[in-house]
Structure formats: C-alpha cells, structure tokens
Structure 1
Amino acid sequence: MTELPGTRSLWLDTAPAPDRTGTPLPPEVDVAVLGGGIAGLTTAYRLARAGRSVLVLEAGRIAAGVSGHTTAKISTQHGLKYATLAKTKGTEAAAMYAYTQAAALDWIAAATAELGIDCGFTRSDSFVYTTRPETVESLEREAEAAAEAGLPATYVTEVDLDVPAVGAVKFASQAHFHPRRWLLALAAEIERAGGTIIEGVRAEGLDELGGTKVRTSSGDVRAGDVVVATHYPVFDRGLFFARLDPVRDLVVAGPVAGNRPPEGMYLDADTHHSVRSYLNDGVPYAVVGGEHYRVGDSVDVESRYERLATWAGEHAGVHRVTHRWSAHDLSTLDSVPYVGRYHPASRHLWVATGFGQWGMTGGTAAGLLLGDLLTGRDNPSAGLYDPNRFDLRSAISTVENNATVAKFLVGDHLSALRKPASLDELAPGEAKVTRDGGELVAAYRDPGGELHAVGAHCTHLGCLVAFNNAEKTWDCPCHGSRFGLDGSVIQGPAVRALPKKRER
C-alpha cells in the first residue's frame, strides 16, 4: 500500500490568502456575483473594469473551492470533444466552441503579462493519447475535426510519457499555471477597481419580483443583476439539478524521480488518467489525475487514491506523494456549458455552470461572455452557450440522468431501512447511514471514539448521503452536494446544513 498524506490541494498549500471575512455587506450594488472561483472572479473583473459596482460573495474562501482543486490545465483540448460537437451540433458550432476556448487561453496569457501576475503561466503542448489500437481511429477523427475547427491539432504516434501509446492527438502551445495565485491576483485587481469581495457569506435565497434581492447569511443585498457562478447553481428555478451530472476526479502530486517531469500535458482517452508538470519551489512535480466516479457513489475512495498513486509512480515518475485532493466537475447534457440567462423569463439573473473537466478555459470563457452580456455588447457565442437551449438529444439525456437520480433516491432508502445498525456498535473509523429510532441518520465514529451523527437526507431534495472515506465527508449521489461531519455545507446545490443528531 502506498503511504499517502492527508487530503490537501497543492494550490491551497502554496498560495496563502488574505482574510476577506467580516467585510460589511453593501445594501445595493450594480452586480452581485455569487461564487469566488474562476468564472465568478473573471466576470467580476470584467465588470469592475467596465465601471460597474461589483460585489463578490463567496461562502468559503476565494479560489479554495472547485477552482482550487483542479489540475489547472489551460487547454482548448477537451478530451475527444470536437468530433462529437461537429457530429451533434455541426461544424460551425464546433468552430465557435473552439474559438471561445482559444480566446479564453489567450486572454489569460495577455492579462498575466499585462498585470504582471506571478502564477507560473507556462506554455506546453497537450496530448490525448491511447494505448489501445481500437481507439486510434477516434483519435484520427478528433485531430481532423479539431484542425477544421481552427485549432493547432495534429495526429502523432509518439508521446513523451512512460506509457505504451499507439497514437495521440497533439495540440500545440497550450498552457498550465498555478490557479489560486492567478485568482488571488485577479481578486486584488477587482478590489483595486472598486469592487467588494466578502468571504464566509452564503447566498440562501433570491427574490426577482420588484427588483433583484439576494438573501444571504449576513443579510440582504439588492443588485441590478445577479450572476450565479457557484459551480452548481444554488437556486432551483432553472431546473439545473435535472440537467447536470456531478463527478469527482482524484488528483495526486509529488516530486519526480530524477527531476525530469513530462514535457507536455497528457490525457489517456480511455482511462482518463492525466499528467502535467509543475515547478514547486524549484522542484519538478507531476500533477496526476484520474479514478473519477459519480459523487456519492458507494465506492472506496481511499483505495482509488492508492491506485492513482501507484499509477503516478509507474508512469509519471512520482516517487513520493506530497499532496492529494479531488476535483469536482459538472457535465451538461450536451457537453457545452450553460452560460447566460438563468431561465427564459429572467432579465437580470445569470448563470455559469457545467464546465466538465475544463473549467480553466471554460470558466474564463464564461466570464468573458457574461461580461459582454451584462454590458450590452454583442457576443456571437451567446446562442451556443444559452442555458435554455433544448433539443431531442438533451431531452433523452435528461430522462437518463433523472433515472439515475431515482435509482439513488429509492434504492439507497431501501438499503438503509433493510439493514439497520445500532450507532453504539459503530467501530472507530466506521461510517454508516442507518435507521436510529424513527429517522435515518448518517453516523461516523472517529478514530478517537467520538460519534458524529447528522440527518441523512440531503437538504437539497432529500436524497440519502453516502460517506467519502478519504475526505471524511457526506456526499449526495443525486446532485453532488457535500457536507462535513458536523453537517456543514461544503458544496452545493444545498445551502442548508444537515441537522445534527445525538453525539455520544
């Protein structure tokens, strides 16, 4: 068994941030941006620079959520994306998607240089490879479709990674960086332009009648426009919970044997293992991702981390894992993010969500698009990203996705009711969702023997949570909400904590 450290993101560990809690809530602003990740901060920066009074509300800490738990590749290469887009939406749509992602990459590069931001921005080629001969034809089609979409894509037969690759799609001159250093610098620029950023304040409700008002854990604020960039939209009026699929990818990082990290960025088309390098205080590191699973699935997450660490040692040269974390991703029904009006009737409520595994360019592209939409500038990509788009294929995907939710909603309840267990019998380190008296509870006994028990129904729509044995959290398999052992909300769409039950 590989010895692993506790779960902690390399990006959070190497980028301390000022405390923005306790700042008074302004009574009124032009734009309230909910969420301090890459989409929210990019949007806020663009609007603040355009002269709008901007408030950013972050329930946790800036750049410490999803954007602080990524592999941070800034790439227009999004798996085998372009052949599928060309087939399902047409070559013009594939070209428009490619254009917006490339524009996002170029904007980050230009802003980094213009503002003098030290975030380790580094150009690097990107590869999607396969070790399976039967996948080669798909890679060839992808290279052709991506090149037709205007991207620097070619098909190659070799990669600089210790894997038996038989083919790959190469995208030239992509990039990677330290995401939290980038976002903390962007936050400072927002404040320099007159914007306000408040941490530790959670949006709990929204009124759209008679003007837009956000109800928060620290009071109410009126806004001319509200942008919901909370990763998973926290207000259910757009029915996004029925149109998003939550998954988690695991990540490990550590120094590379012989100080020779891989020169490019790599993704296995079949297993989805990914590799990129990072220079951590002069020491070459590899950042390795993979072992994804649907949030809340009853899987042994700790064992998956061990498998990933073993793979990183064998194929990426990682001789010691110093950091490990997990990336939270949301995929849309057609694999194109939702960016624009929150619902068909909204005029001042906006959303950005569903970036899949590609939030660095996707979230940036969303911020650039929303910056245009909120300042009245035309943007030809608005129709492609419209959150209210609909087609038959999406309708079928909605039915399939909600069938999965129904399976968890009904099956998990039956399992918990069928096999009740006494909380007193839980051993140290053991967790269980079970019936306690007349209610279902989620209980965990820590290694010191203390019992932590909370309500087992997710406060979003009532699904039963499942235990994540690596991060010691309660995760909802239906829509991806995550809770701490004390019931506190770690990730939405839930905004209310799980109620505490008896502790002994």
Structure 2
Amino acid sequence: MNAEREIRGSYWLETAPGGAPAPPPAGDVSVDVAVVGGGIAGLSTAWELARRGREVAVLEADRIAAGVTGHTTAKLTVLHTLVYDHLRRTRGREGARLYADSQSAALRRAAEVVADLGIDCDWEEAVAHTYAEAPEHVEALRAEAEAAREAGLPAEFVTGTELPYPVAGAVRVTGQAQFHPVKYLRALTDDLKRHGGTVYEGTRVTGLTEGEPCVLETDTGVSVQAREVVVATHYPIFDRALLFTRLSPRRELVVAGPIDADRAPRDMYITTEQNTRSVRSAPHADGTRLLVVTGEHFTPGAPGAADVEERFARLTAWAQSRFPGLTPTHRWATQDNDSTDSVPLVGRLHPGSRHTYVATGFGGWGLSGGIMAGRLIADLVEGREPEWAGLYDPRRLASVVREGGTFLKNQAHVAKHFVGDRLPSVTSPAPEDLAPGDGAVLRVDGHQCAVHRDDSGQLHAVSARCTHLGCLVAFNRAERAWECPCHGSRFDPDGRILQGPAVRPLEPREITSH
C-alpha cells in the first residue's frame, strides 16, 4: 500500500463516538413531521420541532452526519466571503441586514445548545477573516467590510493577521466559532430522541405524495405518513419545485495534519484567490493542533474534474509551502450547492405547497445556514413567519430575474450535457485499456457503460446514465466515484448511491474482463 492510500478520510467522522446504526422502520410509520436527511439542516429542524412537542421522524439514507456535514471544514461564522456587498447591491441594505441577523441568530443558537446540553464538541470562539494577498482585491475587501458593518456585524478592514505569510488586507469579524460538527450532531440526535423523536438510518426516501397527510415512499418498501414533510437532503431529491434550475453543485477538497500548537492559526481564514483557500485549526493531541486546509473547488463530473489527484497535490503543496513541515494525515472532499442569487433556499417547497418544506443552496456555509434553516422551518410549521423568511423563500422570483446571467449560465451547462451526452462519441477506449484504479465511460455493444477496473484487475460495469435525469457520469479516480456533472449525484464503482439527488442506483452491466 502506498503512502497516499494510508492517509485517512474525514477527521470528524473518524474521531466522533458512534454506535450501531439505527435500524430502518419495521413497518409503516405515522408522525407529525417527517424530516428527510440527517445532516445539520435536517437534524436542526427535527430537534427544534421535537423540543416544541411535535412527533418527529428523521429518515437518513446512510448514517447521521455522514454526508456533507461530516466532511465540512467546520467553521461556524456569519462572514461568508464577500456576501454582504453582493447582497447590498442585489437585495439592498435591508436584505443584507436580514441575512446578517438570521445567520447571527443561528450562531447564538448553536452556542446556547452547546451550553445547555453540555456538548463536548471542541467548541472554540474565534475570529473570522476573508483575506486577499493580491493588492488589486483590497477594494473589494473594503467594500465588504463596509457592507457587513452596515448590516450590523462587528466587521473591520485590517492589513495584518496571525497567518505566517503576508496579506494585502482582510475583513475581520469577531465573536465567531469553530467546533467538531459530528460530535455536535450526535449529541443533538441523543437529545432529539429524549424528546420523543425517532431516527431511521439506512432508509432512503424514493417518493413523495403531497396531501393530508403526505406520504413518503422508501427503498425498504415501508411508507411514512406525516402531516408535514421537510426535504433536507442537501440537493433536493424531488424536482417538482424546479429548484435544480437554480442550484449548481460544487466539490471542494480538504487536507489536514497536525502541527505544533504555537504555529497553528487560532482564528479562521478564507480567500477566493487561487481557486479558494480556507485555513483553520482544531484541537488535537500531544501539544499539537490539526491544521485544516480547504480549496480547489470544481464541478463534479465536469471536464477537468477528473484530475482530482492533481488538485489534492496542489492543495497539499500550497499548505506545506505556507506551513513548512506539515504532513497530511487526513484528506477528504465535500460538496456544496450554490444558488443563483447567493442566498439559500429555505421554506415551502413550491408555490402550491401547504405541508412540504425544503432547505438547500447553502453555498459552502451550511453550518450556520443549516441551524438557521432549522429554526425558520420550525417556525413556519407552527404558523409563524420570522422577518427574514422572505429573504430565503424558495418561491422568490425577483431575485431570479436579477441574477438572470448566473441562472442562464447554469442552465446552459446542464443543457450542454443533456444534448451532448446523447450524441455518439467519436472514440471509445477498450476495457483492456483501463489501468487498475481507473474508470471511463466506454461504448460496449452499442451502449454507454461506466467501467471501472479495481486494484485487483477486476472490471465493474454499470450504466453510464445518471438515474436522476439521464446525464452521463464521469469517473473521479481519487475518490473512486462516478459523478454527474448536471446536478452532482455520485455513485460508487458498483453503482450504489453516494450522494443525491439520485434516489436509484446505476444499473449493472455485463462486460468481459481482460
């Protein structure tokens, strides 16, 4: 085994206590509220509602917090790169204020939960920075600091940081936090159960019939009836709201390793330069802290996304050049969904919804966004509407018009795959050309197959068409996964779903091994 394979995956999943998975429901279930998805948004919503006396069930396709939340950088902050100047221009000063107020309320809520439940989740207060090394980006930072202050945040423009390399400037916001997200969610889940909530793991939802009650279908054949349904699957698994036209998936890499505590930054840093670089550290052992570096974002499955190993190498080299002596012990990747107007979509699922809700489009800031979504949806279920509900309402149309360029760009990207993926390829390598560990979409007996050769030389073949809307998948060699460039669904080499919105696996195909 080479050294590369010895590097472990998500540090948060490795170091969080866990037990046996909660079993799927043994029979049909009836509850007040069914929450689909066991990440930060789904569990926060379920917990808020259970605390308010609702009978709640959480349906998670895998394990609690094992998806996006378990692969985050784990920064809990209201400073979301350059969002406030953008909102000031597109939603006005009031829109920027509502965004700041709602995200700040989420941060305070998390601190209250940690204190009230006594959660041991490495909670640390920290200062958040959005910085730039290039002088030409300073004016954008000054504008962001001004917009954030106008929105009510304790923001300032500074030219010095604790980073071991110079910056041209930074936006600085105090009173933020960083923590261990999986430990937090495991404790939240335990408290949810104490308040009568139920969690079902290994239970994939495959269908929804809206009504009174709503009915969810699962891959186990069991149905769940609920007066209210919350879809918190990161990317919505139901397309009736056409939200997929307003979301674009983005994958990002993380490398982490221990460094001496006196060399580790104690605050949080991010820059949009160099295809994004995010830096923070977390408590570790033996006088060290774990340096966590994120960056190299790309569209999963898109041309150029296959060089993920090169991206990992670039990110590692950058981290080692800025923090000499760093030896990565962990690496992983996460996936985010960006909305066309840079604001999450949280609220009623579609214009005709009476009892269905959605939380999505957090754009890389899902921790504060997910906690915010939990409180917002819980209020909506109870007939209350917070002042910022309109800002996040998925049914909003004015912002789509304002952000028409981004909307059209997203749809052109998807349309290209819908058309191009249905044209016959000019060339197609043969299965015997695949090296161990590699994969490619090959034309076999007139059909497009996704073929992977494992390290032992055995071939694994599945349909190359994503079961969501039929785009062709592409192979991510570094993570050994098939990825859809249209909406971000991901599958393992045998076609099993790793990430939605697909709810059905890729169909197996027969192919002769050479």
TM range (shorter): over 0.9
**C-alpha contact (below 8 Å) 1:256/1:317 kept by paired residues:** no
Corresponding residue for residue 407 of structure 2 = 398
1:264 aligned onto 2:272:
no
Corresponding residue for residue 327 of structure 1 = 334
Equivalent residues, number: 503
**C-alpha contact (below 8 Å) 1:129/1:267 kept by paired residues:** yes
Corresponding residue for residue 440 of structure 1 = 448
Helix, strand or coil at the partner of 1:428: coil
1:478 aligned onto 2:489:
no
Corresponding residue for residue 280 of structure 1 = 284
1:421 aligned onto 2:429:
yes
- Which residue identity does 1:370 align to in structure 2? I
**C-alpha contact (below 8 Å) 2:7/2:328 kept by paired residues:** no
**C-alpha contact (below 8 Å) 1:417/1:434 kept by paired residues:** no
Cα distance between partner residues in 1 of 2:202 and 2:329: 28
After TM superposition, give the deviation of residue 313 of structure 1 in Å.
1.3
What pairs with 1:172-321 in structure 2 (closer than 5 Å)?
172-209=174-211, 211-218=213-220, 219-257=222-260, 259-271=262-274, 272-282=276-286, 283-298=288-303, 299=305, 300-317=307-324, 319-321=326-328
Deviations 1:253-273 (A, max 9, x none): 101146521121111132320
**C-alpha contact (below 8 Å) 1:58/1:201 kept by paired residues:** yes
**C-alpha contact (below 8 Å) 2:154/2:174 kept by paired residues:** yes
Q: CA RMSD in A?
A: 1.6
Cα distance between partner residues in 1 of 2:365 and 2:339: 12
Change (3 A) 1:389 1:226: same
Cα distance between partner residues in 2 of 1:196 and 1:25: 14
**C-alpha contact (below 8 Å) 1:248/1:295 kept by paired residues:** yes
Corresponding residue for residue 115 of structure 2 = 113
After TM superposition, give the deviation of residue 164 of structure 1 in Å.
2.5
Deviations 1:159-195 (A, max 9, x none): 1112231111101121100000000000111101000
- Which residue identity does 2:140 align to in structure 1? S
**C-alpha contact (below 8 Å) 2:261/2:289 kept by paired residues:** no
After TM superposition, give the deviation of residue 395 of structure 1 in Å.
3.8
**C-alpha contact (below 8 Å) 1:34/1:228 kept by paired residues:** yes
**C-alpha contact (below 8 Å) 1:255/1:319 kept by paired residues:** yes
- Which residue identity does 1:458 align to in structure 2? C
Change (3 A) 1:257 1:121: closer
1:488 aligned onto 2:490:
no
Deviates more, 1:42-51 or 1:202-211: 202-211
Cα distance between partner residues in 1 of 2:459 and 2:417: 26
Q: TM-score with structure 1 length normalisation?
A: 0.97
Corresponding residue for residue 339 of structure 1 = 346
Corresponding residue for residue 474 of structure 2 = 466
Cα distance between partner residues in 2 of 1:258 and 1:336: 36
Helix, strand or coil at the partner of 2:412: helix
After TM superposition, give the deviation of residue 73 of structure 1 in Å.
0.2
Helix, strand or coil at the partner of 2:425: helix
Change (3 A) 1:22 1:33: closer
Corresponding residue for residue 156 of structure 1 = 158
After TM superposition, give the deviation of residue 400 of structure 1 in Å.
1.6
Cα distance between partner residues in 1 of 2:324 and 2:25: 45
After TM superposition, give the deviation of residue 295 of structure 1 in Å.
1.4
Q: TM-score with structure 2 length normalisation?
A: 0.95
Helix, strand or coil at the partner of 1:17: coil
Cα distance between partner residues in 1 of 2:132 and 2:231: 37
Deviates more, 1:18-27 or 1:278-287: 18-27
Cα distance between partner residues in 1 of 2:422 and 2:454: 24
Helix, strand or coil at the partner of 1:32: strand
Deviations 1:386-430 (A, max 9, x none): 00101212444322211011223333454x621122223323222
Change (3 A) 1:287 1:471: same
Percent identity over paired residues: 50
Counterpart among 349, 364, 371 of residue 364 in structure 1? 371
Q: Which runs of 5+ in 1 are unaligned?
A: none
**C-alpha contact (below 8 Å) 2:300/2:484 kept by paired residues:** yes
Deviations 1:188-227 (A, max 9, x none): 1110100000000000001114531001112111100000
1:13 aligned onto 2:14:
yes
Change (3 A) 1:107 1:258: closer
Change (3 A) 1:367 1:354: same
Cα distance between partner residues in 2 of 1:40 and 1:165: 38
Deviates more, 1:124-133 or 1:309-318: 309-318
1:382 aligned onto 2:386:
no
